[in-house]
Chain A
Amino acid sequence: MSEKLVIIGNGMAPGRMLEHLFEKSPGRYEITIFNAEPRVNYDRIMLSPVLSGEKDYEQIIIHGDGWYIKNGITLYKGHRVVAIDRAAKTVTSEQGVTASYDKLVIATGSVPFILPVPGNDLPGVLSYRDLDDVKAMLLAAQSRAKAIVIGGGLLGLEAAAGLAARDMDVTVVHLMPSLMERQLDPAAGYMLQRELESRGIKIITKAQTKAVLGERRVEGIELADGRIIHASLVVMAAGIKPNAWLAKAAGLATNRGILVDDAMRTSDPDVFALGECAEVAGHVYGLVAPLYEMARVVAAHLAGDAEPHFVHNDTPTKLKVTGIDLFSLGDFADGDDRQEIVLRDAAAGVYKRLVLKENRIIGTVLYGETADGAWFNDLKRRAVDISEIRDTLIFGQAHQGGAPLDPMAAVAALPDDAEICGCNGVCKGKIVGAILAKGLMSLDDVRAHTKASASCGSCTGLVEQVMKLTLGDTYNPAAVQPICGCTTLGHDDVRRLIKAKGVKTIYAVMQELEWKTSCGCAKCRPALNYYLVCEWPGEYADDYQSRFINERAHANIQKDGTYSVVPRMWGGVTSSKELRAIADVVDKFAIPTVKVTGGQRIDMLGVKKEDLPALWADLGAAGFVSGHAYAKGLRTVKTCVGTDWCRFGTQDSTGLGIRIEKFMWGSWTPAKVKMAVSGCPRNCAEATCKDVGVVCVESGYEIHFAGAAGLDIKGTEVLGLVKTEDEVLEVVVALVQMYREQARYLERIYKWTKRVGVEEIRRQVLDDVGRRRAYFARFVYSQKFAQVDPWSERFSGLHKYEYRPLAAVGLSQVAE
């Protein structure tokens, strides 16, 4: 005859226990379950997705009715057990059902902590523990009204995010200074708060709830400082406590929870307890991993295996809110005997902190990027001495061992459908396939058969790496000049990998492409910043700390640390009003030198950095915007007076120059771009030594490019002749966009052209109309984000700190 097993509670822990038991000892017990909830076993962890609408109840059921039938389990749904008679070995439910047992498992879980404040029992005050709570919240959410969540811990924030996803106006009230203070340090708590606030959730920290307000149902809460917040729904998520009263009433030993030994046995050897109601070695648990571990232990003992014991392990915490990646583990308080390793990327919202003691990880907080959480957990659990890998530890597993410095690793990791050659749309798989199928051995063969790197050639390095990976040591690619000492990769490879891997922050690039330094250097950071600005115009947050001072301060630094300021004069045309405004600021700020530049505008030199925002405000009031004379970007479009005045003029060169400048200003480019439009072949605007030039002729417009008149002197190449101003604009913009997408950082157009070839550029931006329009469209899109006057942003208060000293310290403060 089989023994009788009775289980009080039907949550995830006893469910898992039964699975183990059926595996180890099928048919040994006749099982009866009492479930206070009127339903089967479901995944409580998934209540948050149900609340937010990402899942529904059916999707989170763990054991359906069929499972109970198949295993011969008697399940009393909606039966709350009210008494255990240990002498008679029976339990009795509220409805009067009595069942006798040989072995009893108590899995009564936990109860929410309800704040002992007036009004806490009003209708509309809910907790967040089970499906009924979620159903009540969903009902309340239909009103789209205001909700308050008391408690800024794991549960409270999930509830808040879920209600906000249901369009409720949510305020989180939290007693402590920062959110999730038990799992997160203040820095990560702050980032989390910012993210939730950006989703429209209001957060009040250091807020003690004094009372729940309302007559017949809840109308709001009052805080200890007297503030009143209105709401028609109040969710109490201020914590849980083990549900141990039933065990206590039955005379079992209890403390915070039901006391059990490491076999999960209570003070009565025939009674086990597991789950949130159990207290083992001073710990109670609320996360699923240790509860499942308890389930394994109880199942073993029920099956007659006395070996397994429950061992305490810190459990990582994760917040289940879509779009927020957060991981926390162990102990992360500061201490004299502890060191920490921190990695932050504010722009990307990434924060990582490892707390070390005696060269071992004792705590981890990851925010924004949590992929390495499991690895850190493993190192902590095994107490691995990390001194050997300390320098790269924070970058995660991918950066350890022999792999990180292998330049091939990044290419090897690319999927087969990753695009290698953008010009001809060739993916990695196609190149590998062709090499293997046709026995290709040289770069020229690969170019001939696949067209990869046969156009602009910027992907040559990558194609060679694919060949090396496929052919092994029999292939020896030419050495690529790395960007700087921080990497083995060259500019072209980095650009293409940014695109192929879809990485969108500088520190992600460094991570993905296995940079050898923690935060790069003054060579690679500006380059990476440009590549990301160019590749992801709408998404990438410009990292000003990775820009050279001129682009950070939006003025040109001079040898004495002062700055020069050049406002834009469209096409070199100005007016009395503009000149008067310039004269006024020169007087007002006592600017020592005013000079006409080679690009047809006016330079004010010797401006103190502190004066810049005020000076820009005055210039802005006169209608000036930044001339970007400091930028790797569009500088000037020089013009002559054309048909407006000149007796030789063939077209409106001034108007065309202004049109081009107004269309293209603000764009960032690999190196500076200077342009000119001349009204006739006499070429008074000197268009034939510019990066891009237009020479007007009777029959239309001759487009020139790749000239130089600096370190090198070089006449332009002729791209071709077009008939209308509209075509000029389209071709010039497409040319600059192609340059933006393909050139190496700091490489001027003439050097890029020398690498790529005039023919290839002409083919892409003049002959191939479809491709030209695609370049044009990408430029137009990126201008949506780039065409913002940086001066006006700054005199309006952006980056104030850049222009002010932090403090002034007087003599008296210096003397001892």
Chain B
Amino acid sequence: MRWTAIGQLSDIPVRGARCIATPQGRIAIFRTGDDRVFAIDDHCPHKGGPLSQGIVHGASVTCPLHSWVISLESGRAQGADEGCVRTIPVKVEGGKLYIALGLPNGRAA
């Protein structure tokens, strides 16, 4: 896995999110109330809403368009809704954020 530095943990508000632009589209990086960090595609499985703009609670985010609740851990829609977004490995080391993007469609280099 190749890790790419994308910024500092402190760049993301607690219970908030920031986006990064990648060749695979926008990815939302979330920081939870207990300072865990998650990355998922910034694209709600329902109608493509920007999940990074939602309210973060526990390890979930509520989509700003139609209030689907997406688990940051699994990328799955919660409750009665069905759908899933891609989760991307992300880590914090010494306050710095790193993401492991891999290649689109999972191809090896």
Instruction: Let me know if A813 and B53 touch, CB within 8 A.
Output: no
Instruction: Let me know if B47 and A559 touch, CB within 8 A.
Output: yes
| Max count, chain A CB within 10 A of own CB: residue among B6, B21, B57 | B57
Residues on B with C-beta less than 8 A from A344 are 14, 33-35
Instruction: Let me know if A806 and B7 touch, CB within 8 A.
Output: yes
Partner of B109, one of A343, A553, A815: A815
Residues on A with C-beta less than 8 A from B56 are 545
Query: Does residue B99 face the partner (Cβ distance < 8 Å to A)?
Result: yes
Instruction: Let me know if B23 and A814 touch, CB within 8 A.
Output: yes
Instruction: Let me know if B11 and A521 touch, CB within 8 A.
Output: no
Residue of B with least CB distance to A347 = B14
Q: Which of B47-99 contact A (CB under 8 A)?
A: 47-50, 53-58, 60, 62, 64-65, 67, 69, 97, 99
Residues on B with C-beta less than 8 A from A553 are 53
Instruction: Let me know if B101 and A814 touch, CB within 8 A.
Output: yes
Residue of A with least CB distance to B101 = A814
Instruction: Let me know if A549 and B54 touch, CB within 8 A.
Output: yes
Q: Contacts A526-B55, A561-B49, A801-B13 hold; do A810 and B23 have CB atoms under 8 A apart?
A: yes
Q: Which of A772-816 contact B (CB under 8 A)?
A: 801, 805-811, 813-816
Q: Contacts A805-B21, A813-B101 hold; do A557 and B64 have CB atoms under 8 A apart?
A: yes
Residue of A with least CB distance to B102 = A814
Residues on B with C-beta less than 8 A from A801 are 11-13, 18
Query: Does residue A541 face the partner (Cβ distance < 8 Å to B)?
Result: no
Instruction: Let me know if B47 and A809 touch, CB within 8 A.
Output: no
Instruction: Let me know if B62 and A522 touch, CB within 8 A.
Output: yes
A519 to B55, CA, bound (A): 11
Residue of A with least CB distance to B19 = A805
Query: Does residue A342 face the partner (Cβ distance < 8 Å to B)?
Result: yes
Query: Does residue B105 face the partner (Cβ distance < 8 Å to A)?
Result: no
Q: Which interface class (under 10, 10 to 19, 20 to 34, 35 or more) fits A?
A: 35 or more
| Max count, chain B CB within 10 A of own CB: residue among A341, A544, A806, A808 | A806
Flag A520-555 by CB within 8 Å of B: 1 or 0 each.
111001100000000000000000111111100100
Instruction: Let me know if B58 and A517 touch, CB within 8 A.
Output: yes
Residues on B with C-beta less than 8 A from A518 are 33-34, 58
Instruction: Let me know if A342 and B22 touch, CB within 8 A.
Output: no
Instruction: Let me know if A815 and B29 touch, CB within 8 A.
Output: no
Instruction: Let me know if A519 and B57 touch, CB within 8 A.
Output: yes
Residues on B with C-beta less than 8 A from A559 are 47, 65
A549 to B61, CA, bound (A): 12
Partner of B15, one of A519, A526, A561: A519
Say how far A563's CB is from chain B's closest CB, in angstroms: 10
Residues on A with C-beta less than 8 A from B20 are 805-809
Residues on B with C-beta less than 8 A from A550 are 64
Say how far A815's CB is from chain B's closest CB, in angstroms: 5
Instruction: Let me know if A807 and B7 touch, CB within 8 A.
Output: yes
Query: Does residue A374 face the partner (Cβ distance < 8 Å to B)?
Result: no
Say how far B35's CB is from chain A's closest CB, in angstroms: 6
Residues on A with C-beta less than 8 A from B58 are 517-519, 521
Partner of B103, one of A519, A805, A809, A816: A816
A314 to B65, CA, bound (A): 51
Residue of B with least CB distance to A560 = B48
Instruction: Let me know if A525 and B11 touch, CB within 8 A.
Output: no
Instruction: Let me know if B14 and A346 touch, CB within 8 A.
Output: yes
Residues on A with C-beta less than 8 A from B19 are 805-806
Flag B29-42 by CB within 8 Å of A: 1 or 0 each.
10001110000000
Instruction: Let me know if B108 and A545 touch, CB within 8 A.
Output: no
Q: Contacts A342-B34, A519-B15, A801-B13 hold; do A809 and B21 have CB atoms under 8 A apart?
A: yes
Residue of A with least CB distance to B99 = A809
Residues on B with C-beta less than 8 A from A520 are 57
A811 to B25, CA, bound (A): 11
Instruction: Let me know if A548 and B55 touch, CB within 8 A.
Output: yes
Residues on A with C-beta less than 8 A from B12 are 801, 806
Q: Contacts A346-B14, A801-B11, A808-B21 hold; do A545 and B55 have CB atoms under 8 A apart?
A: yes
Instruction: Let me know if B29 and A806 touch, CB within 8 A.
Output: yes
Say how far A570's CB is from chain B's closest CB, in angstroms: 29
Q: Contacts A520-B57, A521-B57, A549-B64 hold; do A816 and B2 have CB atoms under 8 A apart?
A: yes
Say how far B56's CB is from chain A's closest CB, in angstroms: 7
Say how far A393's CB is from chain B's closest CB, in angstroms: 13
A801 to B7, CA, bound (A): 12
Residues on A with C-beta less than 8 A from B65 are 557, 559
Q: Contacts A343-B34, A519-B33, A522-B69 hold; do A809 and B13 have CB atoms under 8 A apart?
A: no
Q: Contacts A526-B55, A801-B11 hold; do A521 and B4 have CB atoms under 8 A apart?
A: no
Residues on A with C-beta less than 8 A from B21 are 805, 807-809
Flag A335-363 by CB within 8 Å of B: 1 or 0 each.
00000011110100000000000000000
Partner of B22, one of A522, A545, A809, A815: A809
| Max count, chain B CB within 10 A of own CB: residue among A560, A801, A805, A808 | A805
Residues on B with C-beta less than 8 A from A560 are 48
Say how far A810's CB is from chain B's closest CB, in angstroms: 7
Residues on B with C-beta less than 8 A from A342 are 34-35
A520 to B54, CA, bound (A): 14
Partner of B53, one of A341, A557, A809: A557
Partner of B62, one of A341, A521, A809, A811: A521
Residues on A with C-beta less than 8 A from B47 are 559
Q: Contacts A517-B57, A518-B33 hold; do A807 and B6 have CB atoms under 8 A apart?
A: yes
Flag A551-575 by CB within 8 Å of B: 1 or 0 each.
0010001011100000000000000
Say how far B103's CB is from chain A's closest CB, in angstroms: 6
Residue of A with least CB distance to B66 = A559
Residues on A with C-beta less than 8 A from B64 are 548-550, 557
Residue of B with least CB distance to A526 = B55
Partner of B13, one of A517, A545, A816: A545
Say how far A585's CB is from chain B's closest CB, in angstroms: 22
Say how far A812's CB is from chain B's closest CB, in angstroms: 10
Say how far A530's CB is from chain B's closest CB, in angstroms: 14
Q: List 13 A-B contacts (CB under 8 A).
A: A517-B58, A521-B55, A521-B58, A522-B55, A525-B57, A547-B55, A559-B65, A801-B11, A801-B12, A805-B20, A806-B20, A809-B21, A810-B23
Give me the 9 closest cross-chain CB pairs, A-B, nearest first: A522-B62, A806-B18, A816-B109, A522-B55, A807-B6, A549-B53, A561-B50, A545-B15, A808-B21
Chain B residues engaging chain A, CB cutoff 8 angstroms: 2, 4, 6-7, 11-16, 18-24, 26, 29, 33-35, 47-50, 53-58, 60, 62, 64-65, 67, 69, 97, 99, 101-103, 108-109
With contacts A346-B14, A517-B58, A806-B11 known, what are 10 further pairs, Cβ within 8 A? Answer: A344-B34, A519-B15, A519-B57, A545-B14, A547-B55, A549-B53, A549-B55, A553-B53, A806-B18, A809-B6
